[in-house]
Amino acid sequence: MTTLRGKALIFLLLVCALSAYSQERGSISGKITSTEDEIIDFASVYFKRTTYGTSTDANGQYTLEAPAGEYTLVVSTIGYETFEKKIKLITGKNQHHDIVIASKEEQLEEVVVISNGLSRLKRSAFNVVAIDAKSLQNSTQSLSEALAQAPGMKLRESGGVGSDMQLMMDGFSGKHIKIFIDGVPQEGVGSSFGLNNIPINYAERIEVYKGVVPVGFGTDAIGGVINIITKKNQNKWFLDASYSYGSFNTHKSYVNFGQTFKSGLTYEVNAFQNYSDNDYYVNTSVKDFETGAINKKKIERVKRFHDNYHNEAVSGKIGIVDKVWADRLLFGFTYSRMYKEIQTGVRQEVVFGGKFREGYSVMPSVEYRKRDLIIKGLDVVLTANYNDNITHNVDTSSYEYNWYGEKRLMNSPGEQSNQHTRSDNENWNGTFTVNYRLSKAHVFTFNHVLNNFERSNKSVLNKNSGSDAIPKETRKNISGLSYRLMPSEHWTASVFGKYYDQYVAGPIATSSAQDDYVRTTNTINAMGYGAAGSFFIIKSLQTKLSYEKAYRLPTNDEMFGDEDLETGDLSIKPENSDNLNFNISYNELFGKHFIYVEGGLVYRNAKDYIQRKITSLSGGKYGAAYSNHGRVETKGFNLSVRYGFAKWVSVGGNYTEMNVRDNVKTVNGTNQASLTYGARMPNMPYRFSNSDVTFYWHNLGMTGNILTVSYDNLYMHRFPLYSEAVGSETEFIVPTQFSHNLMLSYSIKNGRYNLSFECRNFTNEKLYDNFSLQKAGRAFYGKVRVYLGS
């Protein structure tokens, strides 16, 4: 009896507690649709600056419950304007609010499938995913590190903070992939404003277009496009500030504040800095100054001693929004600078102790956007910017260094080549985009991009240098026209054409001694075309197919070099490629369970492939040069799986395999069979994967607090440094690598105060990337972030 009374008492207490709990809470529910009366499924619905949120179901319905009180209800989904409304939850009552949201001009009528930080543009016929940057803002990641989450993406770095960085996407890397910020091309912005130096807090989301690219970007990318979407439309004053400190004396800080007034006046300021000594240990052979030899069989653990890097940047915008004559008219200004000590050349065995590079960049800009200009359905976007980037490459040391930090006097100055060169780089960019929606089913898009570049060099050491007297110039125009048909919710199709034109001028040597130069010019033009389509087999199962005859025009560095370790070639040809992509994806919400599965097939047949090669120089030194490689064929696939349970756990992973092969059968101009035909293209990872799991503990300590624990890893299979057909199997293989990271984050008062701790590469794996240059081992970082405002 006593036991029964005890159980009854406990049951009564639980009923009372639950009753009190329900009486102190209120709820809101409704349906989300678009202005075109389309259901908006899987949109994020949440109370601003709280941990209370949900997603709409397949019918656009939502229900959200929280303690009684006043909140700002937010509806957010990529491709649509963010909706905000003040509401008041009443104890024990449910309120019904149906909400209509409008399409954004840059992504008309596209809906997003949200999958725990990864999203897919559902209505788009193009293969595109998006990364939600908001979920990563308590980490110390840069934009480039966050991109590694996307299927088929691989980040390649040559060292620590501020090192050279390339992104690899479905077998293409570096200059095959173009970078945009809010749809504006980032050509010529300088390394201090590169993706590996911009903190994740700068972005709201990152869009990744793989392979075939919409005409609206007006670009000559073959590999794909990365579009950084920044935060917009903050109605009240806000401040987002953070500081982190970690291994190798690494300091990173970020400040973002701004406001939009009722009058339509808006302003925003972003500022960030990075600093690191990058003094981590590497395993390498060391030059013996007594014998002058490098024993490559003897590997020693030594510390980097000349790799300090720091950069600072500030970007501001001011203008008018939500006017009859302009949705957005913004004027911007960006200033950035950097200082980088150069520890190694393109091979780790060559070490420097005095070389460095420094520079700064200023960039004014203007942006104009208007939806339904003059007539309904006519949308116009106009952007322009001017970038003046000045870089100094300094190599005047009279000493030679080895990895012990020892130095000895040389016969002449210059560790690589005696120089102090100032390069003045001027870049003009302009974009003009017109969308015309003839009806819900028909959309026409025209885009034109103009880019003008000029570089002039001045040798501080040799003012009479002949090549410096002739400027290096390019002028690029790309025009595109597309038509999109979307007659129903079940399928959509797009066809497009692009015209490419490039004018190039610069110095070319008239003698083998390269002591005399003349100005030469070259003009390149080509036509590209393509089509893309999407079809829903059932509501949760979608297929996408796209094809493009694409061209990539040579970049400034490929034609002119970097005035230091890389040399260019004015006669280099544009790449052209037949790109074919097939994708199938399935997503479903089962109550609190979410599952997402995606698979993609990739085929590329590239001609005049532009390849970066290591070149041997005198004195045992190395450089890099660019050249066309006849044909390269890519066949590959990637898989992505993700599962989520409510707001408590998220787990998933990606697997990519890209078979990139030399497709040149004979040596140029002869019938002789090529030794490298069918071999893998060198220095290119072809099999890699990543996975992650994240746990969330809501209301830990007090209501509104959340503890987040994340684990992620990256696997990369070994790959050949040089062609498989040449050299030793062991000496020229970059080894298999498997690295692991941990992060612990605690948010207080609905994200107002945030503390995080990270351990990267906690197993201290030896990590290599570009030309076997070693990256950092185990590292620890801590971060403090404060968010004030609405």
Predicted pLDDT of residue 643: 92
Chain-centroid distance of CA 335 in Å reads: 21
pLDDT tens figures, 466-475 = 555 788 899 9
Looking at the predicted structure, is the pLDDT value of residue 13 above 50? no
Q: Does residue 456 or residue 307 have the better pLDDT?
A: 307
User: By percentage, how much of the chain surpasses pLDDT 90?
Assistant: 40
**pLDDT category, 22, cuts 50, 70, 90?**
very low
Average pLDDT over residues 366-393: 92
**Which is more confident, 768 or 80?**
768
Q: What is the mean pLDDT of residues 473-488?
A: 91
Long-range contacts of 778-781 (CB under 8 A, 24+ apart): 778/247, 779/246, 779/247, 779/248, 779/250, 779/280, 780/246, 780/247, 781/140, 781/244, 781/245, 781/246, 781/247, 781/250, 781/757
pLDDT tens digits, 100-141: 887 654 343 343 434 444 555 556 777 888 788 877 888 888
160-195 burial, b at 16+ Cβ within 10 Å, e below that, comes to bbbbbbbbbbbbbbbbbbbbbbbbbbbbbbbbbbbb
Residue in this structure with the two tokens 């409510």, named with its chain if needed:
646
What is the predicted pLDDT for the residue at 333? 95
* Residues sharing a CB contact under 8 Å with residue 367, sequence separation 6 or more, in sequence order: 182, 184, 319, 328, 329, 330, 332, 382, 383
Note the pLDDT tens digit of each residue in 663-688: 988 877 678 888 888 888 888 889 99
Residues with Cβ within 8 Å of residue 318, at least 6 apart in sequence? 265, 266, 267, 268, 330, 331, 332
pLDDT value at position 532? 92
**Dihedral Cα 615, 635, 167, 354, nearest 10 deg:** -10
What DSSP character marks residue 107?
S
Average pLDDT of the chain, as a whole number: 84
Span 696-702, mean pLDDT? 90
16-20, 140-144, 389-393, 677-681: least confidently modelled range:
16-20
Give the model's confidence band at 597: pLDDT under 50 very low, under 70 low, under 90 confident, else very high. very high
In this prediction, residue 44 carries a pLDDT of: 79
**Per-residue model confidence (pLDDT) at position 189:** 72
Least Cα distance to 137 among 212, 219, 60, 240 occurs for 240
CB-count burial class (<10 Å; 0-12, 13-18, 19+) for 682: buried
Q: What is the DSSP string of 590-630?
A: ETTEEEEEEEEEEEEEEEEEEEEEEEE-GGG-EEEEEEEEE
Summarize the confidence of residues 321-325 as an average pLDDT. Answer: 89
Three-class secondary structure of residue 297 per DSSP: coil
The residue among 422 and 3 whose pLDDT is bigger is 422
Average pLDDT over residues 586-608: 90
- C-alpha distances in angstroms, 251 versus 248, 274, 278, 755, 758? 9, 6, 11, 16, 14
pLDDT of residue 115: 41
In the prediction, which pLDDT does 611 show? 81
Residue 233, pLDDT above cutoff 70: no
In this structure, are residues 384 and 368 in contact, taking their beta carbons and an 8 Å threshold? no
pLDDT tens for each residue of 605-655: 999 888 877 776 666 666 778 888 889 999 999 999 999 888 899 999 999
Length of the chain, please? 790
- 204 vs 537, residue with greater confidence: 537
Region 265-269 average pLDDT: 93
Q: Give pLDDT, residue 113.
A: 39
Per-residue model confidence (pLDDT) at position 79: 61
Q: What does the pLDDT read at residue 104?
A: 55
Tens of pLDDT, residue by residue over 448-467, are 999 999 988 888 887 665 55
Query: Per-residue pLDDT averaged across 694-720, rounded?
Result: 92
Alpha helix ranges (H) inside 141-239? 143-147
Predicted local confidence at residue 558, as pLDDT: 83
Q: Average the pLDDT over each of 56-65, 69-78, 249-258, 740-749 and give the range with the smallest value.
A: 56-65
pLDDT given at position 781: 96
Could you say which DSSP state residue 672 is in? P
Residue 617 carries which side chain, given as an amino acid letter? L
pLDDT of residue 515: 65
What is the reported pLDDT for 727? 55
Mean pLDDT on 269-275: 95
Give residue 463's pLDDT.
66
Question: For the whole model, what pTM was predicted?
Answer: 0.81
DSSP 735: P
Q: Which tens digits make up the pLDDT trace of 157-196?
A: 888 898 887 788 877 776 778 888 888 887 767 677 778 8
The vertex-182 CA angle with 313 and 573, nearest 5°, equals: 90
| Mean of pLDDT values over 45-60 | 76
